[in-house]
């Protein structure tokens, strides 16, 4: 444990930020998992997809995840959605 008052504050601030970022990341992962499950069951609605994309964008904007990581996650999700739509169009 640090002795200097400002460093003690920094440690506490870092801990609070870590917990907040952790909860944001957890929410993002949960939403992605729900979207992937919906794609697998072929029952994806647009609202879930929009909410998931919005959450990913928000995290990138806040700097919790890198913007390229956000783009990669959205791209992979959209790839699955587009495959689902293509299969539905062919069938």
SS3 at position 8: helix
Residue 58: which CATH number?
A: 1.20.58.110
Q: What angle in degrees, to the nearest 10, is found between the helix axes of 46-62 and 5-40?
A: 160
**Per-residue pLDDT tens over the stretch 32-79:** 999 999 999 988 888 999 999 999 999 999 999 999 999 999 999 999
pLDDT at 28 over 90: yes
Is the model more confident about 88 or about 58?
A: 58
Domain span at 20: 5-90
Is the model more confident about 43 or about 26?
A: 26
Both structure tokens of 22: 């952790």
- CA separation for the pair 10, 70 (Å, rounded): 28
pLDDT at 15 over 80: yes
Question: Number of structural domains, the chain?
Answer: 1
pLDDT at position 91, please?
60
pLDDT at position 51, please?
96
């Amino acid at each position: 444990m640090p002795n200097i008052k400002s460093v003690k504050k920094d440690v506490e601030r870092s801990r609070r930020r870590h917990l907040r970022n952790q909860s944001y990341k957890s929410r993002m992962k949960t939403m992605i998992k729900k979207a992937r499950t919906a794609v697998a069951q072929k029952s994806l609605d647009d609202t879930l997809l929009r909410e998931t994309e919005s959450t990913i964008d928000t995290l990138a904007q806040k700097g919790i995840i890198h913007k390229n990581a956000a783009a990669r996650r959205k791209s992979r999700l959209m790839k699955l959605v587009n495959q689902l739509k293509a299969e539905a169009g062919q069938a």
